[in-house]
Amino acid sequence: MIILGIESATSQVGCAIGGHEGVLASVHSSRGKRHAENLTPQIEFVLEQARIRMDEISVVAVDVGPGLYTGLRVGIATAVSIAFGLGVPMIGVTSLDLLAYPVRYCSKLIVATIDARRGEVFHANYLQVPGGVQRVSEPAVSTPDDLAADLIAHGNEALLVGDGALRYTETFAGLRGVDAAEPNIAYPSADSIVQLAHAKALREEFVTPTELEPVYLRKPDAVEIENQKRKLS
Amino acid sequence: MTSGLTLGIETSCDETAASVVTSDNVVLSSVVSSQVDLHARYGGVVPEVASRAHVGLINPVISQALVEAGVEPKDIDLIAATNGPGLVGSLLIGVSAAKALSLVWGKPYVGVNHLEAHLYSCFLEEPDLELPLVVLLVSGGHTILVSMEKHLEYTILGQTLDDAVGEAYDKVARYLGLGYPGGPVIDQLAETGENNITFPRPMLRDGYDFSFSGLKTAVINYVRNNPDAPIEDIATSFQEAVVEVLTVKARKAAIETKAKGLCIGGGVAANSRLREAIFDICLEDELHPFVPSRAYCTDNAAMVAATGWRRFLHDGPTLLNTGANPNLKLPEKVHL
Ligand SMILES: [Zn+2]
C-alpha cells in the first residue's frame, strides 16, 4: 500500500509518500504562502525521491482542516483530482489530529491549536491511548482567552501544540501546569498524515473524492451577517 | 499526431465549468454548474461562498465533462485552466485541479487568460472567422473593446473607466428592487417598456473608452424624482442608452480598424437587445457580425479549452510551479 499525504491547512504546505514501511519521502515549505505554486512540484519531487511511480499510489490522504481557507482548498482540490485521476480512494484527516500525533507520548491533556486569524484559534483536546492519541473534544473555534479560561477550569496539566498557541504565547504563558510544545512541531506535517492514514487504511476508512468534506468551523461572513439579519427581523 | 483533445477548466468567478474540445474547435462536452442561486440572496458574488462551492463541484463537473464527451483520460492531450483574472480563491481551485490531473495523467498543462478565452468564444461556433476582428467584451467585471489583428495578438482600443456594463445592470436592478443578477431581469422587463426617458449616453462620441457610473446615477436620480414612472419604461430607456453607447463605439472601431467582422462576448453579450443591435449595425456597414450562442457568452470551459490549445501550440506548456493571477491583463501586442 502506497499513500500520498497532502497537507496545506496552515501557512505551511507539504506532502509525503509512504506505506507499510513508514514515510519514504516528504517535503514541506512555509515561505510566502505559495501553496498553489509549490504543491504540485513537491508531489513530483517526493515521488522521484522515493522512486515511486504515480500509478503505484493506492490511497490519497489529505488534511481536511480546520485551517486557512485558501491554502486548505488548494490541498483538497489537488488531492481530490489526484484520487479521481488515478481512480483510488481517499482518507481525510483533521489538521488538529495531525498536530496531536507527534506529541502522542505526552501523558498530559494535549490541546492542539491552529491560528484561525481574526483573533481566534481552532482547537481540540486529546488524551493518550495505547498506540496513539484519542480526540476527546470536537474541533472548535474560539478566542485564545476563552480557550485559556477552559484550561483553567479544567485544572489538569496540559500541553499546548500548534501555531495558535505560538501566536498567543502571552495568553497561555502564565497558566499553571500548562506548557507549550516546541515551535518546530507547530505545523501539521504531511508525515503525520501518511502515518495516521496508514492506520485508517488498514481499517478501510476510505471516502470517495465526492464524499470528502472540508472542515471550516466558520460560516462565510456574508452568511453570518444574513443569518443575524434574519434573526433580528 | 495527436487529435489535440483539450480538457478545459473554468473557475474564475461563480461558475464551475469543464469541457472537452478538439483542436478543430468541436465541442464534445461543455458542463457548467452555475452558483447564481447561491449568491442571489447576497446581491452579488460572495468570494468565500464561491470558493466553497467550487471545491465541492470541481470533481463532479470534470468527471461529467469526460463522460459526456465519451473520452478516456488517455485520449486527452492537454489540460487547460483559467489562471486569471478573477477571484483568487476560486481561480486556485481550477488551477490546482488542472495541475494535479496534468501530473497524474502525464499530460501538459496550460494556464489560460479568462479575457482571451472570451475573445475566442466566437471561434467555437465559427472557427473560420476572418481577421482582423473587433470584439466587444462585456460582462459583470469587464467592458473592453479589442482589435484582434492576428491570432493571439490584440490591441485594447478602449475600456470602462468606472463600472463594467454588467455591474451597472446589477446596481440599477438592485436600486429598482429587481434582485440579482440584474442583466436578465432588466432585459426581460425592457421588452414590455417604452424608450421614452432620455438618459445620458456617457462619452458617446468621445474615443473608445466607456463610463457607466454616471448613467447609473442618472437612472437612480430619475427614479427618485419620478417615483411613479413605470419600471418597464425605466428598464427599456436604460437599456437603450447602454446599447447605443456600446454599438456606436463598436461600429466606429470596426470601421476605423478596417475589421472584417464584429464579435461580442462575455455575460452581457447574452442580452437580447445588444445581440439584435449588433446585427443591425453590421448589416448597414457590410460587416460580418458574430454573436455566439448565449451558452458561450457567459462563463464556460469550452472557450478555455479552445484558447488553451491555441496558446499551447504557440507558447508551449505552463510550468507546474505557477499559481493564479487575479489581476491578469489581456496580453497586448507590443507597438513599436
Ligand atoms: Zn467571464
How many whole angstroms separate alpha carbon B336 and alpha carbon A35?
38
Q: Count of H helices and E strands in chain A?
A: 8, 11
The 3-state secondary structure of chain B reads CCCCCEEEEECCCCEEEEEEECCCCCEEEEEEEECHHHHHCCCCCCHHHHHHHHHHHHHHHHHHHHHHHCCCHHHCCEEEEEEECCCHHHHHHHHHHHHHHHHHHCCCEEEEEHHHHHHHHHHHHCCCCCCCEEEEEECCCCEEEEEEEECCEEEEEEEECCCCHHHHHHHHHHHCCCCCCHHHHHHHHHCCCCCCCCCCCCCCCCCCCECCHHHHHHHHHHHHHCCCCCHHHHHHHHHHHHHHHHHHHHHHHHHHCCCCEEEEECHHHHCHHHHHHHHHHHHHHCCEEECCCHHHHCCCCHHHHHHHHHHHHHHCCCCCCCCCCCCCCCCECCCC
Residue from B71, B91, B99, B105 whose CB has the most chain A CBs within 10 Å, to mutate: B99
DSSP state of A65: -
Report, in angstroms and rounded to the nearest whole number, the Rg of chain A calculated over CA atoms: 18
What mean pLDDT comes out for the span A78-85? 98
Q: Which residues of A touch B95 (CB under 8 A)?
A: 36
In degrees to the nearest 10, what's the CA dihedral of A99, A102, A106, A112? 0
Q: Identity (one letter) of the amino acid at B53?
A: A
**Bridge partners of residue A113, in order along the sequence:** A123
**Bridge partners of residue B221, in order along the sequence:** none
Q: Count residue pairs from A and B with Cβ separation < 8 A.
A: 105
From ligand 1's centre to the CA of B294, what distance in Å? 12
End-to-end Cα, chain B, rounded Å: 37
How many whole angstroms separate alpha carbon B166 and alpha carbon B33?
20
Q: How confident is the model at residue A115 (pLDDT cuts 50, 70, 90)?
A: very high
Residue from A34, A81, A117 whose CB has the most chain B CBs within 10 Å, to mutate: A81
How many whole angstroms separate alpha carbon B32 and alpha carbon A47?
34
Task: For residue A135, count CB atoms less than 10 angstroms from its CB and return exposed for 0-12, middle for 13-18, buried for 19 or more.
Answer: middle
Quick one: closest CA in A to B73, which residue? A85
How many whole angstroms separate alpha carbon B71 and alpha carbon B52?
28
pLDDT for A100 beyond 90: yes
How many whole angstroms separate alpha carbon A92 and alpha carbon A139?
15
How many whole angstroms separate alpha carbon A3 and alpha carbon B36?
38
Tell me what pLDDT residue B1 has.
Answer: 43
Tell me what pLDDT residue A67 has.
Answer: 96
What is the value of ipTM here, to two decimals?
0.96
Interval B179-215: pLDDT, tens = 889 999 999 999 999 999 999 998 988 899 999 999 9
What percentage of chain A reaches a pLDDT higher than 70? Answer: 100
Distance of alpha carbon A82 from its chain centroid, rounded? 19
From ligand 1's centre to the CA of B159, what distance in Å? 15
CB distance B54 to B11 below 8 Å: yes
Find where cell 465541492 sits.
B56
Tell me the CA distances in angstroms from A151 to A102, A110, A117, A173, one per residue in order. Answer: 21, 11, 21, 12
Tell me what pLDDT residue A39 has.
Answer: 98
Q: Which residues of B touch A222 (CB under 8 A)?
A: 42, 46, 48-49
* Interface contact A222-B105, CB threshold 8 A: no
Interval B28-82: pLDDT, tens = 999 999 988 889 888 889 999 999 999 999 999 999 999 999 999 999 999 999 9
Classify strands A2-7 and A59-63 as parallel, antiparallel or unpaired. parallel
| Shortest distance, CA B46 to any CA of chain A (angstroms) | 7
Which three cell numbers mark B124? 467555437
Residues 6+ positions from A145 with CB-CB distance below 8 Å = A171
Quick one: closest CA in B to A45, which residue? B103
Which three cell numbers mark B277? 443591435
Which three cell numbers mark A64? 481536511
The 3-state secondary structure of A180-212 reads ECCHHHCCCCHHHHHHHHHHHHHCCCCECCCCC
**Bridge partners of residue B210, in order along the sequence:** B160
Return the ∠ at Cα A197 (arms to A116 and A93), rounded to 5°.
20
- Nearest CB to B58; choose among A36, A77, A86: A77
Q: Which of A126, A57, A28, A35 is nearest to B103 (CA)?
A: A57
Q: Which residues of B touch A34 (CB under 8 A)?
A: 323
- Nearest CB to A36; choose among B54, B95, B106: B95
Q: Identity (one letter) of the amino acid at B104?
A: V
* Interface contact A40-B320, CB threshold 8 A: yes
Half-sphere exposure of A221 (CA within 13 A, CB side): 6
* Interface contact A36-B323, CB threshold 8 A: yes
What mean pLDDT comes out for the span A3-16? 97
DSSP state of A101: G
What is the rounded average pLDDT for all residues in chain A? 95
Find where cell 510544545 sits.
A181
Quick one: closest CA in A to B41, which residue? A226
CB distance A196 to A93 below 8 Å: yes
Q: Which of B149, B152, B116 is nearest to B303 (CA)?
A: B116
DSSP state of A9: S
> Which residues crowd ion ligand 1, with CB under 5 Å?
B 139, 299
Tell me what pLDDT residue A222 has.
Answer: 83
| Shortest distance, CA B151 to any CA of chain A (angstroms) | 29
* Interface contact A220-B97, CB threshold 8 A: no
Quick one: closest CA in B to A208, which residue? B59
- Nearest CB to B96; choose among A77, A84, A220: A77
Distance of alpha carbon B308 from its chain centroid, rounded? 16
How many whole angstroms separate alpha carbon A231 and alpha carbon B179?
21
Classify strands A121-129 and A109-115 as parallel, antiparallel or unpaired. antiparallel
How many whole angstroms separate alpha carbon B97 and alpha carbon B75?
18
DSSP state letters, A110-171: EEEEEE-STT-EEEEEEEEETTEEEE-S--EEE-HHHHHHHHHHH-S-EEEESHHHHHTHHH
From ligand 1's centre to the CA of B139, what distance in Å? 6
The one-digit pLDDT tens for each residue of chain B (336 residues) are 457 999 999 999 999 999 999 999 999 999 999 988 889 888 889 999 999 999 999 999 999 999 999 999 999 999 999 999 999 999 999 999 999 999 999 999 999 999 999 999 999 999 889 999 999 999 999 999 999 999 999 999 999 999 999 999 999 999 999 988 999 999 999 999 999 999 999 898 889 999 999 999 999 999 999 999 999 999 999 999 999 999 999 999 999 999 999 999 999 999 999 999 999 988 888 888 899 999 999 999 999 999 999 999 999 999 999 999 999 999 887 665
What are B's interface residues with A at a Cβ cutoff of 8 A?
Answer: 41-42, 46, 48-49, 51-52, 54-55, 58-60, 62-63, 73, 88-89, 92-106, 320-324
